[in-house]
Amino acid sequence: MRIRQALVAFCAAIAMVVAGPSYASALDSPYQRGPDPTEASVKAIAGPFAVDQVKATGHTGFGSGTIFYPKDEKGTFGTIAVSPGFISPEGLVHWYAKTLASHGFVVMAMGTFTVADPPPSRGDQLRAALDYMKTKSPVKDKVDPTRLGLSGHSMGGGGTLDAASKMPDLKAAVPLAPWYLTGGPVIPKVKAPTLVVGANIDFVAPMAIFATPFYKALTSPNKALLTLPGDHMTPFLLANPTLTKFAVSWFKRFLDDDTRYDQFLCPNPASYEGTCPLT
């Protein structure tokens, strides 16, 4: 019996060594929040954290904002600013911002000065939104200023890439159907882990012109390209479990250093291209 127990213990120890960095880093990450993720949980529009919200006030660097954050939770969280696209008000990205917050992030759905603001202007406003959240917002005590991320749809996706190119310490970016006609020279300057998301029948920002070349031009060692079924609007502006799965997993992995989410990103799932293993 003792020999058998010793063999079981030895095998368990070997398994932990083989699992190696991934197992250890998941346990060692001080930012790990929430229960162990499952395929169902990462697709949930309402994640494990109750969410509250507050309007952004007293700001000058962006048009408007609503901040969604985990309610009644202690400590700080990774923080994300999200921009809508061309001719789109802040409210169109509320579902997305609230969903991300419910998985354990502080997230601003940002409105632009005008709905026609081009990508560079949106990028400047996204950077101002992050600065506001960590220095002046009503929830600044919940913000970890070292763990910042960006996302945005259409011209907001272009703005995400523009802002990311000017933020060498940014932890993660998720541009959605990015539109940025003059973005070519900007993309190689993006150093943050970046998940580019496109749609296969998008005739406004066709993947062949925008998302795919942007992905290929990225120089970050951690990058991915996700193709969703649908047009320029529907997969991004309506609650979408597939988008939720990958956006949540990307931000969890790179804002929280939570390797429990690697399983949803590597090996590459269908309709997804990326650099594996993640580092």
Judge whether residue 50 has pLDDT over 60. yes
d(CA 53, CA 70): 9
pTM: 0.89
Judge whether residue 19 has pLDDT over 90. no
Residue with tokens 């062949």: 208
Catalytic residue among 124, 202, 258, 262: 202
CA 60 to chain centre: 25
The dihedral sign for the CA sequence 247, 250, 117, 67: positive
Average pLDDT, rounded, for the chain: 91
d(CA 92, CA 111): 10
Residue with tokens 């026609």: 116
- Residue 271 is predicted with a pLDDT of 87
Judge whether residue 151 has pLDDT over 70. yes
Catalytic residue among 121, 137, 151, 154: 154
- Whether 232 is a known active-site residue: answer yes
- Whether 154 is a known active-site residue: answer yes
End-to-end Cα distance, the chain: 42
- Residue 72 is predicted with a pLDDT of 86
Q: Phi and psi of 197, rounded to 5°? A: -120, 130
Q: Which residues, in sequence order, are CB contacts of 158 under 8 Å at separation 6+?
A: 118, 119, 122, 123, 152, 175, 178, 179, 180, 183
d(CA 239, CA 10): 47
Catalytic residue among 94, 103, 153, 232: 232
CB burial string 85-117: b at 16+ within 10 A, e below: bbebebebbbbbbbbbbbbbbbbbbbbbeeeeb
- Whether 202 is a known active-site residue: answer yes
Which one-letter DSSP state was computed for residue 37? Answer: P
